[in-house]
Amino acid sequence: MLVLADTSASQQATQASAGYFLMAYLGFSIPVITTGVLIDAVGHTLALTLFGLALLVGVIVTLVLLRKAR
């Protein structure tokens, strides 16, 4: 029985690690691809301005949610 528990824990750690790396990959690639598409569509200045505004909105939302969690 202990062997089954050990195998299950190992498998969960592997799945957690895979999920972590998948989220990291998406977190790094989606902003780059989106910014590249925006640059092609609207130009550098507007695309990077929109990207900066999206980051700012993300920070503000995160701060609000953290404040509510207190």
Please report, for the chain, the start and end positions of each structural domain, with discontinuous segments joined by +. Answer: 2-69
Cβ contacts of 34 within 8 Å, gap of 6 or more = 51
Residue 4 CA to chain centroid, in angstroms?
33
Global confidence as pTM: 0.66
Decide if 39 contacts 47 (C-beta within 8 A).
Answer: yes
Residue pLDDT, tens place only, 17-68: 888 889 999 999 999 999 999 999 999 999 999 999 999 999 999 999 999 9
